[in-house]
Structure formats: structure tokens, C-alpha cells
Amino acid sequence: MQVIDVTSVSKKYKVYKNPGPVSLKNGIQEIFNNKTNQEFWAINDVSFSLNSGDKLGIVGNNGAGKSTLLKILSRITKPTSGSISVSGKVASLLEVGTGFHPELTGRENIFLNGAILGMKKHEIIAQFDEIVDFAGEQIIRFLDTPVKRYSSGMYVRLGFAIAAHLNPEILIIDEVLAVGDADFQKKSLGKMKEVASREKTILFVSHNLTAVANLCNKTLHLEKGKVKDFGDTGQILTSYMAALQKNIFEHYFETPEQAPGNDLIRLKYAKLTPVLQENQSYWDIRHPFKIEFEFWNLGNTQNLNVSLHVFASTGECIFNVGSDQLTCQFGLIRGTLAVPGHYLNDGNYVVSFMVVKDKSIILYNFEEIFNFEIADFREDTTWYGKWPGYVRPSFSFPLEQITETL
């Protein structure tokens, strides 16, 4: 049975030419001047439909219109054109703890937030103990304390606990999984999965592709407000990941004059190649990669080695490897580095390398030569939170049963 039908929905926003407050003066001027403001289509001609029980993951870059689409679907804002028909009770969770009032106690906020999310009072009363239980021991002790005294973790746990006990036919969720500590994330994702297994329609926006892959049977890929792709999750995510990642990383300079460097060293060529598995179009944590480079030695005979750094996108250095030292003549030098798979964790990384003379004098530092992203990969998991750490080794780590008695 079709429960959601979206037909060529578009949403236009005005981009005001003279930035500054929208004031009465400007509003009146607007009426008299026919000065057209620039328009911006946050959502442009989006159509799709969902059947009862479908779980839809919505993916796309920042600014692709995911949040706008959710707001339209949850009736918070009207589309500029197009039509939507939704049959069934809808609850939207665009934020954890919407409408929590800092001065009110945890108990009062449960009723307030529940009512805001569309629960009836008797439903809240019936599930009150469950909600408090789910939120955790700490909340139970501070149930009659104003939530402004809560830690941010407690606040989020209480908010999620209420949301998790909503019982609508259609649930619209925006990134609420990215909350709380790892423990609570695990619990809430478990709850999500439990909710998802029921005959309920879910629309779910997330950057966490592992969660989308595991929770959703359909995926909508938005790009610049338009539907790029819509269909079965497996297929859409594969093409999405492939489009997301640049898998060719190459710099090539014809002559030393154009190349980066200085009078002593110029870069000729640098290439980073992930070694993907067969039938795989994107780079994940299992794949090894190779970095090759060539540079011109413009100085005389000198002892050179290369020191290569890999940084996390947050700036910490993950590792630094030094090449062997070579006595280089004037001319072209080549180097190759192979990094095994199951080594870097998922995330964004930056590569820099420097050419060093006599193991101590930096001749030139080629900064941020490559900027790449590695996707996550998990099998047989029920946990979709961010895997911690910068490295993700797969050391042999067996468990064995020793006896079957105490």
C-alpha cells in the first residue's frame, strides 16, 4: 500500500541581494521596485513514492536539500510547487529534545516533549516508566531536577528516550543517531532497528552510510536539490560512494618550470592509487593503496631521503615514514610507498611529503599533495556508530571456550 507520494515537489528560497536584516523598509521597497531577488531552488522537481513498511535512507552532500525535503514532508514548511500525499500519523524527529524547557524538570519535560511530538497524555503516562528506564539510571535520580542542570549527555538521552517511544505510522528522522556516547548510541541504534522491523514507514537522513545500508531498504540520493538516484539501497549506495570519492589522485608536471618546489627540488609526478577489490567501485578500509612520486633533483650530487606524513583531517599526524637514503645525481628520482589494507580507519586523510638532505635539512615540503577519503566497511554488525580510532588493524584476536563447567 502506498503511504507517501511525492509529485514534482520544489521549494524556492529567495536570496536577498542586499544582505542585511529583512526590514520593513526593504519589504516596502520590494513592493514598489521590481528588483528581482535571486532565487535558489533548495528542492527541485523531486518525485518518489513509498509503500507501507518501506525504510527510506536519504543521502547527499551538505546543501543537497535533504533537510528541506524532510521539513516539507513533515509539513513544517510548504513546497513552492508540487504535491505531497501522506496517509497515516506522522512524527518527525528533526532534533533530539525539541522544545525542552531548561527551567522545567525532567518529568515535566517528558510530558511537554511528548505532547510536542504528537503523543497523547495517556500514551505518555502508559509508557512513562519505560521511557525513564530507557534513558538510564542517572535520569531516574534527577527526574525532578530542572533539565538545565543536566549534562549534555543526559539531556540527549532523555530526548532520545522519549522519541524512541513514539508510535506513529510514519517516522521522519534527521541525523538523531549521531548523539550521546558510544554506549547510548548502541542502545538507540538497537532501538531503531527494533522500530524499523515493525510495519512502520521510516524516512531517515544520515551521513552514516553504514546505518543507512543496514536500516533502509530504499535510498534516495539528492544532488543540488534534484533526485540523482532512487531505488534499492545496495545499488544506490554503491554508485553514491563511487561518485563521492575521487579514486584517481594524480599530479603531473611537464617541465620543472611549472612544477611546485624550489631551485633544488621540483615535483614531476605524484599518484595515489587505491587497490580496490573486484566489483567494487569505492575505497573502503579493506583496501591497500600505493603512493608513487617522481621529482627532479636540480642540485648537485646529494644524499636525499623522503619523509612522508599522513594526517587526519583534524590535523593530527597518523604516521610518518621515511624512505631509504639515496645518493642522488642531478636528474629524476622515483619513490614508491605501499600501505596495506585494514590499516587506516574510515575517514578523511591528507598526505604531505618532504625531501630531506643528509637526514636533517628539509629541502622542500610538498604539503597536502593528496586529500582522500576511506569509507567504512562492516559485516554482520548490529552497531553502526563511528568506529573509534585512526587505525583499524585486523589483528588476529581469537576467543576460545576452555571448559563448559564452572
Partner 1 sequence: MGIIQRFNTQFKEILHDSELLFILAKRDISVRYKQTYLGVSWAIVRPVLTMLVFLFAFKNVAKIQDLSGYPIQLVIFSGILFWNLFATTFQSVSNSIISNGNLISKVYFPRLIICLSSMAVSLVDFFVGLIVYIILVFALGHTLSLHIIYLPIALVLTIVTSLGLGILFASFSVKYRDLLQIIPLIVQYGFFVTPIVYTSQNLIGSKWYIYYSILNPLAGLVEFFRYSLLVEYHLFDLNMLFISAASTMFIFLISLFVFHRREDSFVDHL
Of the candidates 226, 230, 219, 171, the one whose C-alpha atom is nearest the C-alpha of residue 9 is: 226
Interface segment toward partner 1; rule CB under 8 A; list 107-115, 136-144, 236-244, 250-258: 107-115
The nearer residue to partner 1, 74 or 208, going by C-beta atoms, is 74
* Residue closer to partner 1, measured from CB, 119 or 139: 119
Among 120, 149, 246, 359, binds partner 1 (CB under 8 A): 120
Say whether residue 95 binds partner 1 (CB under 8 A).
Answer: yes
Cβ-count burial of 291 within 10 angstroms (0-12 exposed, 13-18 middle, 19+ buried)? buried
Q: Torsions phi, psi of 319, nearest 5?
A: -155, 165
Cβ of residue 84: shortest distance to partner 1, in angstroms?
12
**Segment 296 to 355, residues that bind partner 1, using CB under 8 A:** none
The dihedral region occupied by 261, where left means phi > 0, alpha psi between -120 and 50, and beta the remainder, is left
CA distance 235 to 345: 24
**Least Å from the CB of residue 120 to partner 1:** 6
Query: Which of 10, 44, 46, 92 touches partner 1 (CB under 8 A)?
Result: 92
The DSSP bridge partners found for residue 321 are 308
Minimum CB distance to partner 1, residue 46 (Å):
18
201 lies in the binding site for partner 1 (CB under 8 A): no
Instruction: Identify residue 301 by its one-letter amino acid code.
Output: T
196's enclosing H/E stretch is helix 182-197
Restricted to residues 27-56, the positions that interact with partner 1 (CB under 8 A) are: 27
CB of 102 to partner 1, least distance (A): 9
Residue 96 class from Cβ within 10 Å (0-12 exposed, 13-18 middle, 19+ buried)?
buried
Residue of 5, 81, 112, 288 interacting with partner 1 (CB under 8 A): 112
Q: Which of 18, 20, 25, 331 binds partner 1 (CB under 8 A)?
A: 25
* Alpha-carbon distance values, 201 to 89, 122, 217, 228 (Å): 10, 24, 11, 22
Q: Single out the residue of 45, 48, 52, 108 in contact with partner 1 (rule: CB under 8 A).
A: 108
Give how far Cα 64 sits from Cα of 60, 89, 220, 221, 233, Å.
6, 27, 11, 9, 18
13 is a contact residue toward partner 1 (CB under 8 A): yes
- The β-bridge relationship of strands 317-322 and 331-339 is unpaired
Residue span 130-149 as binding mask against partner 1, x where in contact by CB under 8 A, dash where not: ----------------x---
Residue carrying the nine cell digits 517528558: 110
Q: Does the protein bind partner 1 through residue 182 (CB under 8 A)?
A: no
Is residue 398 a contact residue for partner 1 (CB under 8 A)?
no
Question: What grid cell was written down for 34?
Answer: 521590481
Segment interacting with partner 1, rule: CB under 8 A, options 95-103, 224-232, 276-284, 359-367: 95-103
Residue 165 engages partner 1 in binding (rule: CB under 8 A): no
Q: Give the nearer residue to partner 1 in terms of CB position, either 116 or 318.
A: 116
Is 20 near partner 1 (CB under 8 A)? no
**84 binds partner 1, rule: CB under 8 A:** no
Placement of cell 600501505 in the chain: 339
Residue 277: CB atoms within 10 A of its CB come to: 12
What is the rounded distance in angstroms from the CA atom of residue 318 to the CA atom of residue 310?
6
- Residues 6 or more apart whose CB falls under 8 angstroms from that of 278 comprise none
Beta bridge partners of 274: 289
Q: Does 198 bind partner 1 (CB under 8 A)?
A: no
Of the two residues 146 and 288, which places its CB atom closer to partner 1 in the complex?
146
Q: Which of 94, 264, 275, 312 binds partner 1 (CB under 8 A)?
A: 94
Please report whether residue 178 would count as binding partner 1 according to CB under 8 A.
no
Amino acid occupying residue 29? Q
371 touching partner 1, by CB under 8 A: no
Q: How far apart are CA 281 and CA 117, in angstroms?
A: 41
Cβ 89 to partner 1 shortest distance, Å? 11
Q: Which of 1, 17, 20, 23 binds partner 1 (CB under 8 A)?
A: 23
Can you give the binding site for partner 1, defined by CB under 8 A? 13, 21-25, 27, 71, 74-78, 90, 92, 94-95, 98-99, 101, 103-104, 108, 111-112, 115-118, 120-121, 146
